């Protein structure tokens, strides 16, 4: 009998202990927006804060369809309140407006967008960086380093290799995921851990990297500021269904500074979001009247003065005020002493001949996997060994080549050389050196800098200064950033 009484008491206590827990779960379920699907509405989901800023309801990730929009309530960095946004699931991540990562289901700390998050700037304006192994698999490192160096030499921001810092960014080059973007990043500094910047292999340029680094520093898209409708009109009737929600307003409150059509954070008027790419997805306005957009809209590969002023104001408000660092980004993963280990003797021989111009090795031998081509990077250039022979690119021409991207030019087909006297037309306009590539030619002069043009146009030569200007405007095709 005593044993039966004890068992009954245990059951009563178990029931009493269980009831509050069941009630708590019910209240939690009722406080979250349950996934709703209709024929006309996207999946609706809301990540709400529990007891602390580190605890969230985890949405049922599996029910979200790849490439489909869902609705999520976010308080984006710097905003005064949460609001609903359309986000798209690609892989393990949720993306806002095409290239802003708002949640990674593999890294829960990525989602810091539901609480008071005014501390999204990087302490002291110093950003620790990890370059993962994919960055060194091709010529990507040169492009990425050039973008990191831009901030170190032109702003108060310092990008440095991570040692043991708890907050940092990871830059990774990934395979094309079919989303149409060239890169993606979270906004600002997230919670403890690494924020991942993604760059799509063979699709990103130096301008793409700078754009995503601006996001990582806390800067939003220009065409998504709260007052944008005064300055642009979005042509939703010419935007593909898969990109309809890439133009949402990101910041609330009063926008800072004048609207900057030429910002590196501005979408192009003509882009891959369009149903008909001969027509714009946005048009410019002046006092409510549609006007022609400046040619720079969405086509800059460097920040404008207003971009830099906005970044400076953001970090000056966070207590960062200093002259540029004026020191390059350096990675311990890149060899910096000698060319030991470079087994392509043809490249070694070429390096010995051009060592004064190239400097020391900055990589080992890289097999590009394209027609069995090899590459070695140096302090001031690179040597390619391809079916076109062993060719060197260096100096300002190399910087131009890296900034515009390999896809634009192809492999070099010659070493840099003086422009022959038979091409004296170019010399009349100040161009003295030339490097030829599979698709285009880059010319350079000490007074005029660099310009690239189609190979046939280089051979034809400029006949008049007006024709030269026309080449500069028409032949140097604008880069369509697919952010």
Element (H, E) at 383: strand 381-386
Nearest of 215, 237, 141 to residue 481 by alpha carbon: 215
Whether residue 211 is annotated as binding a ligand: the answer is: yes
Residues 43, 63 contacting (CB under 8 angstroms) = yes
Distance, CA of 357 to CA of 248 (rounded, Å): 48
Q: Is 212 a catalytic residue?
A: yes
End-to-end CA distance of the chain: 75
What sign results for the dihedral spanned by CA atoms 429, 432, 437, 438?
A: positive
Residues 334, 361 contacting (CB under 8 angstroms) = no
Distance, CA of 393 to CA of 382 (rounded, Å): 6
Strand, coil or helix: 193 = strand
Whether residue 400 is annotated as binding a ligand: the answer is: no
Say which of 33, 55, 165, 212 is annotated catalytic: 212
Letter string b/e over residues 38-70, b meaning 16 or more CB atoms within 10 A of that residue's CB: eeeebbbbbbeeeeeeeebbebeeeebeeeebb
Distance, CA of 468 to CA of 278 (rounded, Å): 26
Distance, CA of 235 to CA of 180 (rounded, Å): 19
Distance, CA of 94 to CA of 191 (rounded, Å): 17
Whether residue 215 is annotated as binding a ligand: the answer is: yes
Element (H, E) at 316: helix 305-316
Distance, CA of 206 to CA of 301 (rounded, Å): 7
Residues 184, 197 contacting (CB under 8 angstroms) = yes
Residues 201, 175 contacting (CB under 8 angstroms) = yes
Element (H, E) at 40: none
Pinpoint the alpha helices (H) of 320-394.
345-358
Strand, coil or helix: 169 = strand
Distance, CA of 385 to CA of 392 (rounded, Å): 9
Q: Where are the beta strands (DSSP E) in 395-468?
A: 417-418, 433-436, 440-445, 449-454
As given in the structure block, the two tokens for residue 177 are 């995921």
As given in the structure block, the two tokens for residue 114 are 């539901």
- The Cβ of residue 449 has, within 10 Å, a number of other Cβ atoms equal to 12
Distance, CA of 348 to CA of 360 (rounded, Å): 11
Q: Which residues are catalytic?
A: 212
Binding residues for Zn(2+): 211, 215, 221
Binding residues: 211, 215, 221
């Amino acid at each position: 009998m005593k044993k039966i009484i004890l068992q009954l008491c245990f059951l009563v206590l178990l029931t009493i202990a269980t009831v509050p827990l069941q009630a708590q779960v019910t209240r939690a379920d009722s406080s979250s927006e349950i996934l709703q699907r209709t024929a006309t509405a996207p999946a609706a989901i809301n990540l709400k804060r529990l007891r602390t800023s580190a605890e969230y309801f985890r949405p049922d990730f599996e029910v979200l369809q790849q490439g489909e929009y869902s609705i999520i309530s976010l308080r984006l960095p710097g905003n005064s309140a949460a609001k609903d946004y359309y986000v798209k699931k690609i892989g393990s991540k949720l993306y806002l407006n095409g290239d802003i990562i708002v949640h990674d289901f593999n890294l829960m700390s990525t989602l810091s967008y539901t609480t008071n998050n005014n501390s999204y700037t990087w302490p002291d304006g110093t950003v620790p960086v990890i370059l993962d192994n994919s960055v060194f698999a091709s010529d990507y490192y040169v492009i990425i380093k050039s973008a990191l160096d831009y901030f170190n030499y032109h702003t108060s921001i310092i990008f440095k290799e991570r040692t043991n810092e708890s907050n940092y960014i990871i830059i990774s080059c990934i395979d094309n995921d079919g989303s149409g973007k060239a890169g993606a990043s979270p906004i600002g500094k997230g919670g403890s851990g690494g924020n991942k910047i993604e760059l799509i292999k063979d699709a990103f340029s130096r301008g793409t990297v700078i754009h995503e680094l601006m996001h990582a520093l806390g800067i939003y898209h220009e065409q998504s500021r709260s007052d944008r409708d005064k300055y642009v009109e979005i042509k939703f009737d010419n935007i593909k269904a898969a990109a309809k929600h890439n133009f949402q307003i990101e910041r609330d409150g009063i926008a800072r500074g004048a609207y900057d059509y030429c910002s590196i954070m501005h979408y192009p008027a003509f882009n891959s979001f369009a149903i008909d790419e001969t027509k714009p997805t946005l048009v410019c306005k002046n006092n409510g009247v549609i006007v022609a957009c400046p040619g720079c809209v969405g086509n800059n590969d460097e920040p404008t003065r207003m971009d830099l002023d906005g970044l400076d104001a953001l970090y000056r408000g966070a207590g960062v005020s200093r002259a540029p660092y004026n020191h390059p980004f350096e990675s311990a993963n890149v060899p910096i002493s000698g060319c030991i280990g470079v087994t392509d003797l043809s490249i070694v021989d070429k390096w010995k001949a051009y060592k004064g111009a190239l400097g020391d090795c900055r990589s080992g031998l890289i097999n590009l996997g394209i027609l069995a081509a090899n590459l070695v990077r140096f302090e001031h250039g690179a040597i390619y060994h391809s079916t076109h022979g062993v060719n060197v690119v260096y100096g300002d021409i190399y910087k131009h080549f890296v900034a515009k991207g390999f896809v634009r030019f192809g492999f070099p087909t010659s070493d840099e050389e003086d422009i022959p006297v038979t091409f004296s037309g170019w010399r009349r306009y100040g161009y003295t050196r030339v490097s030829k590539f599979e698709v285009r030619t880059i010319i350079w002069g000490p007074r005029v800098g660099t310009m690239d043009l189609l190979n046939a146009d280089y051979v034809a030569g400029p006949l008049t200064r007006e024709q030269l200007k026309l080449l500069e405007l028409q032949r140097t095709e604008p880069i369509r950033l697919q952010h």
